Every structure is written in C-alpha cells, then in structure tokens.
Structure 1
Amino acid sequence: MAARWRRILVILAAAHVLFAVNTFGEEDVPEEWILLHVVQGQIGAGNYSYLRLNHEGKIVLQMQSLKGDADLYVSDVTLHPSFDEYELQSATCGQDVVRVPAHFRRPVGIGIYGHPSHLESEFEMKVYYDRTVEQYPFGEASYNPEEMEANQKYSRSAEDESQDEESVFWTILIGILKLILEILF
C-alpha cells in the first residue's frame, strides 16, 4: 500500500514539475501587443550597445537578461542614451520593460548597458507594437502632446516677460535712488 502511495506522489510531483516548466516558458503578453522584432546580443561589463527604433506608435521594449545583468536606457533626444542621459530606463536584475510613448520623436535611441557586476551579459529583447487605445478622462482631443508643449512654452515665456519687466523696473528705480543720493550727499 505504501509503494502505491509513493508512486502516486511521484506522479503528482512529476505532473507539477511539467506544468511549472510549460507555464514558465509561456509569456504573459496582452493580445493587443504585436511582436515586431527579437534582438539577441552580448555586452561586456561597463559597455553600451546602441539600437535605433524607427517604428511609430506606442512601442514596448521587453528585455530579459539571459546571463549577467543588462540594463535598458531610452531617449528621443539622443541616439546614444546612457545612465547619465536618458528619458526612460529600466535597470533591474531580471526582466526590463520600457514603454515608449507614441509622441516620442523618431528615431528613438536605445542603449543597452552591461552592468559591471558581470564580465559579460547576454540579453534578449522583444519589441512589441502596443495597439491598446488609451482612455483620456476628457476625451482624446484633450491629450495632444504638441499642444501641451506649446502651452508650456507660452506660459514660460509669459513668466519670463513679467520677470524681465520687474527687473527693468527695479533697475530704473535703483538708478533714480542712486542719483538722488548723489545729489543730496
């Protein structure tokens, strides 16, 4: 009887291991994501490898360090982002994920950094196009990155002008006071 229970226990354990292995290999990727590219590579400790992203729209970069620790830096300002100069980044010891917004200027620079804790890092990066539709609280027309940027520039320039006017006013007032003091003394 004990042998029978042991056999059942071994079968259950084997089934559990097979189930875990099968689910571990499958990725949990939303249906709205379309796989565009798979990039594999190696990077030495303290070094960068650079890629360019030309695809328009919302893009998801999903990078897995297969060996060592590779980190991800993304920028629409420079084609050579680093840990000193970037707009988006993910620097974990496992899976790194960065969501590149649709309003980023193309080409987008991607920097992959090999962390110095390992002599060499191997990575696999999957590039997805994200088809999900974002819901904006005041409608899609309320979110326009170019319009928001123009409004910010306008508000900054109005503040700068008022500060310049104050500065000119104080400069004239101080000059008049100095002149009066010189006359009196």
Structure 2
Amino acid sequence: MAAAWKGALLLLLAARAASWGGASEDEDEDVPAEWVLLHVVPGQVGAGNYSYLRLNHEGRIVLAMRSVRGDADLYVSDRTLHPSFDDYELQAATCGRDVVAVPAHFQRPVGIGVYGHPSHRDSEFEMKVYLDTTAPLGDGATPGGAGAGAPHAYDPEGAPQEEESLLWTVLIGLLKLVLEILF
C-alpha cells in the first residue's frame, strides 16, 4: 500500500514539475519565429504607481509583458515619455499577459509606462521586447523617410536612460524590502 502511495506521489510531483516547466515553454511557443528577442526587462512597481521605460529601437516592436506577481498594466505613447491611463496611444491592461505591438511609424523614443494596479500592494513584471522582422523598417515612415529616425536605434543617450529607469526600479524595490524588514 505504501508503495502505491509513493508511486502516486511521484506521479503527482512529476506532473506538477512538467506543468511548471511547460508554462514558459508554451509562452515561447506562442512567439512567431520571425520575432527577434532584443531585451528581457524585469521590474517592480508599487500599487497606483508607474515605472517608465524608453524604447529607441526602430521597426515594429512587440512588447510582451507578464505579471510575475500582482497585476501590472502597459501604456505606450510616442507623444509623451510618461504615458498613463489618461494619456496613451496603445495599452494592454489585462490580468494576464499584456502584449502591445508598437508600429514602425511611431516616433522614437517611445515612452512605456508600467502601471501597478491598486488591487495589489506591489506588482512584479517581466517584459520581453521583440523586433518583428516581418514588418518592413519603413512602413508608415515618419516625415523625412525611414532613415530619418535611424540614429535613435543606437542612440547612446537613450540606452543609459532605460538602464537608469531599471536601476531606479531595482533600487526602490530593495529600499522597500529594507524598510519592510526594519518596520
């Protein structure tokens, strides 16, 4: 009888492990082969707050964000670097995976706002940034042609700003953790 319980327990654990491993594989299977992974951006945002990022890459960019903990929502704009639920061009505000396709004709840099839904004290997210190689680089080009915005793709001023935003997010998260431990 004990052997039967051990076998059932092992079968249950194996099934659970397969389902945990399968979740990330399924997510990667949903991504077309034509999408090139550019970045994976982890982050954290408090309830009712925003974390801001900048997108400088040219072309059609797909932002795929999943909430690891809590519920983070995604707002995107080429008019402001601080989009919000009141001022945005594109948004994804689901309780699950949020996906936004940023058209190639959006002026760079593009502002990305990640909002922490108030239903959770903190929200932790992971955003994958993909280049959709099926879309031509100049579709719906901005005035001046597709080449006019090309310097933004490798803009040395833009990269540190995105890293700075991520750095601030990490530092604020660590500070919150220290404060929770102390108080």
Normalising by the smaller structure, the TM-score range is 0.5 to 0.7
* Deviation for aligned residue 1:16: 3.8
Separation in 1 of the partners of 2:122 and 2:5? 45
Separation in 2 of the partners of 1:31 and 1:24? 18
Separation in 1 of the partners of 2:121 and 2:4? 49
TM alignment of 1:138-149, pairs within 5 A: 144=140
The amino acid of 1:125's aligned partner reads M
Q: Unaligned regions of 5+ residues in structure 1, if any?
A: 135-142, 148-185
**1:3–1:45 Cα change, 3 Å:** closer
Separation in 2 of the partners of 1:63 and 1:118? 17
Identity level (%): 64
The amino acid of 1:25's aligned partner reads S
Match of 1:40 among 30, 39, 42: 42
Q: Which residue number in structure 2 is paired with residue 62 of structure 1?
A: 64
* Deviation for aligned residue 1:41: 1.1
Contact 2:59 2:103 (C-alpha < 8 Å) held by counterparts: yes
Separation in 2 of the partners of 1:13 and 1:118? 31
Separation in 2 of the partners of 1:10 and 1:44? 39
* Deviation for aligned residue 1:89: 0.1
Separation in 1 of the partners of 2:140 and 2:112? 25
Q: Unaligned regions of 5+ residues in structure 2, if any?
A: 144-183
* Partner secondary structure for residue 113 of structure 1: strand
Residue-by-residue CA offset, 1:25-62 (whole Å, 9 max, x unaligned): 21222111111111111111111111110000010001
Residue-by-residue CA offset, 1:127-174 (whole Å, 9 max, x unaligned): 01111248xxxxxxxx74669xxxxxxxxxxxxxxxxxxxxxxxxxxx
Larger radius of gyration: 1
- Scaled by the length of structure 2, what TM-score is found? 0.66
Measured on the aligned residues, the alpha-carbon RMSD in Å equals 2.6
2:10 pairs with 1:21: no
Q: Which residue number in structure 2 is paired with residue 88 of structure 1?
A: 90
TM alignment of 1:78-157, pairs within 5 A: 78-133=80-135, 144=140
